[in-house]
Structure 1
């Protein structure tokens, strides 16, 4: 089978597409023919060996995928050949086949394209877990989304609207702000401009942000926390800007604010029942059309490097997807 193989941690230009043997199945596992794979910021860090945990070499990158069950001896988890699924795993999805435990996949509702499914689970589960289970976002509250045009940011906008919040998108270019507005944001601001906090204050009628969804990090995180409402919640989702901010502890004291961490990898381990409930809610929204995931650009497997380059330029709108099956 064809697969992207990381033999040494390196920039994406040095990573190759290779012909390798299909993965071996263990009892109780499923073999999936991969149709599409989502490319996230974490995937790029893993390839370069810069993520907080390292995958043992060699490895196949890619954590989020959609595909068709091809082998299911004993029908583990109730799955059988021919069923369409979407899934998440530690690695291995940038390949024509992947072997996973049944807990790693979820049945795909009818009518959902593989590209949509492959860009769905990580971003939207992160957004719903952060906004609902962690921040307990309430209808009518003010939600500020940083990095609003990225895959996770767009998911937070859409989920925030479904939860009844007023959503303000923060993005650095006009194109990104228009993209965020087109996908549900009520207003948008340019956080690179001096005085953006005054603009934000006007947009909220002096109230500030009840909840801040922050996958960016860096200095903007500290500036944003200064605009938090009384008893506001700041969700730490990631550090796409590259720098981990240091928050002066007097700010939470003065604002009555809370800093809440969001780590998607911890949810199935520490809160499996919560994950099951949230995935049921998400797939319900997906099936009835309330939620329409945003796919950015779709690339052929042979062009996987371009998918990573586009994602890493921070110029990406939505999530990048690699189409595996023809």
Structure 2
């Protein structure tokens, strides 16, 4: 089969599609013919060896995928060949076939395209875990989403609206702000402007945001926290800016505010009950049509580098998706 193979941690141009063996099946496993795989910001860091954990070389990148069951182990009864599924794993999704434990898969509602499903789980689980389990966002509260046009940012915009919040989307270009408005944001802010905190103060009537969803980091994070409402919650989701901010401890004291970490990689292991509950909620929303995940640019497998480069340039609207066949 064909797969993207990372043989050395390298720039995107140094990674290529190779012919490798189709994976076999062991006890409890399912092999899936991949229809689409998603590329996120973390995937770009992993192939370059820049992420906080490193996959052993060589490896096939990609954590999210959707496709059709190709074969199952004899002890697996929940899935049958031909069933559409969606899955998430540590790596291996940028290939024509992937083998995973059956627990890594979920049945895909028939009305949901592979491209939509592949871009769904990581971003929307991160958004719901952050806003529900960490921040306890309440209906009527003000939610500020930084980097609102990115994959995880636009997920937070949509979930915030489903939870009844008033959503202010912060993004760096008019195109990105219009994108956020199309997917439910109530208002937008250009956080590249020197006076953006004055605009935020005006929009919130001096109250400030009750919850800040922050996948950006850098100086904008520090400025956002300075504007947070009393007893506000600042969700630390990531550092797309490339800079990890250092917050003076007197600011949380003066604001009565809280910094809350959000790490998708640890949710299932450390909070399995919460993980199960949130996944059930997401798939209920997906099946009912209440939640329609945003698909960014879709590129064919042969052009996978374009997906990585667009994501790394921070010009992506939504999540990048690679399709097969």
TM-score, length-scaled by structure 1: 0.98
What's the counterpart of residue 320 of structure 2? 320
What's the counterpart of residue 155 of structure 1? 155
* Aligned pairs (5 A) from 1:22-171: 22-74=22-74, 76=76, 78-171=78-171
**SS at structure 1 position matched to 2:290:** coil
The 1-side partners of 2:126 and 2:28 are apart by: 28
**SS at structure 2 position matched to 1:78:** coil
The 1-side partners of 2:307 and 2:21 are apart by: 24
Structure 1 residue 75: deviation in Å?
5.0
* Aligned pairs (5 A) from 1:169-208: 169-208=169-208
> What root-mean-square deviation, in Å, do the aligned CA atoms of Structure 1 and Structure 2 show?
0.8
Structure 1 residue 76: deviation in Å?
2.1
1:77–1:102 CA contact under 8 A, matched in 2: no
The 2-side partners of 1:288 and 1:104 are apart by: 22
Per-residue CA deviations over 1:116-159 (Å, capped at 9, x if unaligned) read 00000000010000000110000000000000000100000000
The 1-side partners of 2:282 and 2:225 are apart by: 29
The 2-side partners of 1:309 and 1:321 are apart by: 12
The 1-side partners of 2:299 and 2:60 are apart by: 17
Report which stretch shifted further, 186-195 or 268-277: 268-277
Structure 2 residue ranges without an equivalent (≥5): none
The 1-side partners of 2:27 and 2:289 are apart by: 37
Structure 1 residue ranges without an equivalent (≥5): none
1:129–1:278 CA contact under 8 A, matched in 2: yes
1:208–1:228 CA contact under 8 A, matched in 2: yes
The 2-side partners of 1:276 and 1:74 are apart by: 26
2:27–2:75 CA contact under 8 A, matched in 1: no
**SS at structure 1 position matched to 2:229:** strand
2:25–2:72 CA contact under 8 A, matched in 1: no
Structure 1 residue 43: deviation in Å?
0.2
The 1-side partners of 2:108 and 2:237 are apart by: 26
What's the counterpart of residue 288 of structure 2? 288
2:25–2:73 CA contact under 8 A, matched in 1: no
Corresponding position: 1:10 with 2:10: yes
The 2-side partners of 1:45 and 1:139 are apart by: 35
The 2-side partners of 1:77 and 1:297 are apart by: 35
What's the counterpart of residue 273 of structure 1? 273
The 2-side partners of 1:113 and 1:171 are apart by: 28
1:212–1:233 CA contact under 8 A, matched in 2: yes
Structure 1 residue 25: deviation in Å?
2.0
**SS at structure 2 position matched to 1:221:** helix
The 1-side partners of 2:266 and 2:102 are apart by: 18
Aligned residue pairs: how many? 325
What's the counterpart of residue 221 of structure 1? 221
The 1-side partners of 2:26 and 2:251 are apart by: 51
Structure 1 residue 193: deviation in Å?
0.3
Per-residue CA deviations over 1:5-27 (Å, capped at 9, x if unaligned) read 00000010000001110123221
